[in-house]
Amino acid sequence: MVWLLLLLLLVRSSLHRRIEHLHALPLLVRRYVTECVVNEGLRLLLGGPMRDTWLCPYVEQQSQTHDDQSVVMAYNGEGRFLHPPHTVDSVYECSLASGCGLECRNRLVQRGPTYRLEVIRCMEAKGKFVKGWGVRSPDFIPKGAFICEYIGEYISDDEAESRGIRYDNQHMSRLMDVVGDGRDVVRMCIDATRFSNLGRFLNHSCDPNCFKQRVFCDHNSRLPRIAFFALRDIPPLEELGYDYGYQDVPGKTFPCLCGAWNCKKLLY
């Protein structure tokens, strides 16, 4: 009987923890969205679509007609990114106009995440949660696998400048620089403050296990999607982190608390 009671208590407390975790996410994020929203100011700046459609790189008879960028075969048959980080400018996934079916292997990010992800409080030394929240997975994530996107609100560079001052004062920035593809001159940012998915909770690491990659899934859109892929095999429950790649900011520093063996001690 005592054992039964103990078992019930255990199950209840673990259930409670999981429910707490699930309820915490909407409280942490103002508007949880699964695709980016576009700020009106940026929409006006961008104008209409500018890119031609691209054909599926896996439909052999079409391969003659590709230009250099669209010919990149990004993923293998198991849905793993095939190239070293930061060597492919943009991935162009197949879309309605590509002449292939939904099962085509060149449609990965558009299908959404498949590994489970948890938002966690990140403990630092001395029992403090100084880094805020972070992300991990209870699943093993193999090298090259797609993890999730960084989703938020696309804003213009000018708008990001003014919002950035406010965020810097709060020591918490959820801005990510985004550049259109080589033919596009518009510089923009994804701000994951008001609108976001859980991609905004990935912290910086000086020894990253993820990297970000620009992906286009629709020739009608000039807005690249930012996808995270596994840089190496990631064991369950290891915190996910990528290199923020921050430039030095004159007169300002921000301590890095990633805890990696090679930590540079400063984010910028």
Q: Token pair of 170, please?
A: 């709060």
Nearer to ligand SAM, 57 or 152 (CB): 152
Measured from the Cβ of residue 197, the count of other Cβ atoms closer than 10 Å reads: 21
Q: Which does 85 bind (CB under 5 to 8 A by kind): Zn ion, ligand SAM, none?
A: none
Q: Work out how close the CB of 101 gets to Zn ion at its nearest, in angstroms, rounded to a whole number.
A: 8
Closest by CA position to 159, among listed 193, 204, 200:
193
Nearer to Zn ion, 41 or 101 (CB): 101
Q: Which does 148 bind (CB under 5 to 8 A by kind): Zn ion, ligand SAM, none?
A: none
Nearer to ligand SAM, 63 or 253 (CB): 253
Q: Which does 132 bind (CB under 5 to 8 A by kind): ligand SAM, Zn ion, none?
A: ligand SAM
Nearer to Zn ion, 100 or 190 (CB): 100
Q: Which does 173 bind (CB under 5 to 8 A by kind): ligand SAM, Zn ion, none?
A: ligand SAM
Nearer to Zn ion, 155 or 231 (CB): 231
Nearer to ligand SAM, 140 or 246 (CB): 246
Strands (E), 48-164: 91-92, 118-121, 133-136, 146-150, 153-156
Nearer to Zn ion, 49 or 255 (CB): 255
Strand 31-32 to 195-196 pairing: parallel
**Residues whose CB falls within 8 Å of the CB of residue 172, separated by 6 or more in sequence, listed in order:** 132
Q: Which does 257 bind (CB under 5 to 8 A by kind): Zn ion, ligand SAM, none?
A: ligand SAM
Give residues in contact with Zn ion (CB under 5 A). Answer: 56, 94, 98, 100, 104, 106, 206, 256, 258, 263
| Whole-angstrom distance, CA of residue 30 vs CA of residue 195 | 6
Q: Which does 94 bind (CB under 5 to 8 A by kind): ligand SAM, Zn ion, none?
A: Zn ion
What SS3 string covers 201-229?
HCEECCCCCEEEEEEECCCCCCCCEEEEE
Q: Work out how close the CB of 107 gets to ligand SAM at its nearest, in angstroms, rounded to a whole number.
A: 27
Give residues in contact with ligand SAM (CB under 6 A). Answer: 131-134, 171-174, 200-201, 203-204, 256-258, 267
Q: Work out how close the CB of 116 gets to ligand SAM at its nearest, in angstroms, rounded to a whole number.
A: 19
Q: Work out how close the CB of 133 gets to Zn ion at its nearest, in angstroms, rounded to a whole number.
A: 17
Burial class (CB in 10 A: 0-12, 13-18, 19+), 195: buried
Residue nearest to ligand SAM (CB): 132
Task: Measure the CA angle with vertex 172, ends 171 and 176; round to 5°.
Answer: 130
Q: Phi and psi of 161, rounded to 5°? A: -55, -50
Dump the DSSP string for 137-204: -SS-B-TTBEEEEE--EEEEHHHHHHHHHHHHHTT---EEEEE--TT---EEEEE-SSEE-GGGGPEE
Q: Work out how close the CB of 191 gets to ligand SAM at its nearest, in angstroms, rounded to a whole number.
A: 10
